[in-house]
Amino acid sequence: MNLIQSLIKKYRSLSAPVKASVWALFCSVFQSAASLITTPVFTRLLSQDDFGIYSQYSSWLGILSIIITLDLYSEAYMKGITEHEEDEDAFTASMLWLNLAIFTLFLVIFLLAPSFWAKVLHLSPYLTGLMFVHLLASFPFDYWKSRERYHYRYKLSTLLSVIITVFGYAFSIYAITHLSNRLHARIEGELLIRILVAAPLLIILLRKTKYIYNREIWTFALSFSLPLIPHFLSNLVLSQSDRLMIGRLVSDSASAKYSIAYMIASMVLMIVNAVNSSYVPYTFQKLRDRQEASLRSSSSLLLGGIALLCVIGMGLAPEVITIFAGESYAEAAMIVPDVSASVFFIFVYTLFSNVEYYFKETKLVGIATLLAAGLNVLLNAILIPRLGYTVAGTTTLVSYLFLALFHYVCYQRIQKKQQLETVYDLRIILLVSAGLLGVTLIIRTLFHLPLIRYLIVAASVPLSAWLLLKKR
């Protein structure tokens, strides 16, 4: 009881920004966990083809969201509201009207030739139409949540995020079990709760509108966001293009299997994102105070920990996939080792890019992501038709390896320019990376021998601890 009271007291002593960050992290972890927990339900309620089409629908939704919203509700809105605090109602409404204007433009383009765009997206016209409804229902909540976050008001936004997540999945499951078209039901059930939340929020945000068009605000928003779109879009293409290309080049069923493998490997990615969100301010503080030694020590421990989690995910992939998705998805386990190793290199490149962000050396960040995304698409186009859809895991690994190397070169340049001591221990990075790639190759080769996989997982725990403690 004393421990609980101590934790409550510690929490109450936190500043509003820190509390808001804690709850933002909670929402992210909760939503990812809910997605993982409900996966066994949806893989059993939906056919493989339907699950594959839904995965492609989700991928296109993410890509079109960036193109149509320009992510105006995030960085641009946060930057702009600081300069319009005296009239933030009008500023928020003007930004929302800009997004609605862009949305309308794209909707008209779609309505002029719905069959053509449905063919391009490899989705039915109805599903493509639902995607536009989904985007329209997202605007109000995104802007409202950004405004709440700006003022460090986290209680109601956290509650609504949880409600949307829980009831979205609940409505989808109910709809699937009561409607004849299960694929449509999966999307419509989730969409219903978003519409119910979006409608009142749209009224709240627009009720104090003084004007629809404001040249100054619209010019600022577009000039701020447009240069960032290639980076955001390339990053999304890098993570989503595999399943889209598999669906087009192989089959919807193959896309479903790849999506399951990616989701299992992403369990570690969820932890990586959570760790990095906390490690970024720590990195910035240490760089500000020129305490590079602290970063060398802590980053080496984190690298070892992330690598260990990746090895555990690789070794137990067949069993986890059987539990989550069933025997019909068993062959997808072959993809998990490569994608798990990719997650490790995502963490590696974020370590280097954190240094780039701190010193505002971000000109090459978008170029790096664009090149990596292009490499991934090119390799998929060449290799998937020849070697099958499982090679997409390898192309993903190669692309993130390239991204890590690119950011390492940029980081080295900054380190010399700023006359820093060694921020990250290259020997540890190379040792852990080589070890992980070796384990990836062994597990892939001996995938059919469970005992070998279990032994590798069991041996990796004490070995990782010994190497890192020896280094310290």
pLDDT tens profile 434-445: 989 999 999 888
Residue 1 lies in a domain: no
Place of tokens 């990796």: 460
The residue range of the domain holding 413 is: 250-471
Other CB atoms within 10 Å distance of the CB of residue 307: 25
Residue-averaged pLDDT of the chain = 83
For the chain, the residue count is 472
Averaging pLDDT over each range in 49-63, 263-277, 288-302, which range is the top one? Answer: 49-63
∠440-444-450 over CA atoms, to 5°? 105
Residue 243 lies in a domain: no
Residue 80 lies in a domain: yes
Grade residue 171 by pLDDT with cuts at 50, 70 and 90.
very high
**321 and 456 share one domain:** yes
Top-confidence residue, 402 or 201: 402
pLDDT tops 60 at residue 129: yes
The confidence score (pLDDT) of residue 468 equals 57
pLDDT tops 80 at residue 366: no
200-204 long-range contacts, CB within 8 A, separation 24+:
201/140, 201/141, 201/144, 202/96, 202/139, 202/140, 204/144
**58 and 93 share one domain:** yes
Query: Mean pLDDT across the stretch 176-185?
Result: 91
The confidence score (pLDDT) of residue 181 equals 92
Top-confidence residue, 233 or 61: 61
Dist. CA 274–CA 350, nearest whole Å: 12
The number of domains in the chain is: 2
**360 and 462 share one domain:** yes
Grade residue 459 by pLDDT with cuts at 50, 70 and 90.
confident
The confidence score (pLDDT) of residue 298 equals 80
Dist. CA 3–CA 27, nearest whole Å: 24
Which stretch of 108-122, 145-159, 276-290 has the lowest confidence by average pLDDT? Answer: 276-290
Residue 245 lies in a domain: no
**330 and 298 share one domain:** yes
pTM above 0.85, yes or no: no
**220 and 345 share one domain:** no
**61 and 121 share one domain:** yes
**215 and 332 share one domain:** no
Which stretch of 113-117, 173-177, 293-297 has the lowest confidence by average pLDDT? Answer: 293-297
Residue 82 lies in a domain: yes
Residue 191 lies in a domain: yes
Mapped onto helix, strand or coil, the DSSP state of residue 291 is coil
**217 and 113 share one domain:** yes
**161 and 96 share one domain:** yes
Dist. CA 423–CA 411, nearest whole Å: 9
Contact 241, 373 (CB under 8 A): yes
| Amino acid identity, position 431 | L
pLDDT tops 70 at residue 266: yes
Residue 335 lies in a domain: yes
Dist. CA 399–CA 361, nearest whole Å: 22
**264 and 127 share one domain:** no
Q: Tokens at residue 21, please?
A: 């960050």
Percent of the chain residues topping a pLDDT of 70: 91
The confidence score (pLDDT) of residue 145 equals 85
**263 and 190 share one domain:** no
Grade residue 370 by pLDDT with cuts at 50, 70 and 90.
confident
Element (H, E) at 51: helix 48-69
Dist. CA 319–CA 311, nearest whole Å: 14
Residue 267 lies in a domain: yes
**196 and 338 share one domain:** no
Dist. CA 351–CA 280, nearest whole Å: 9
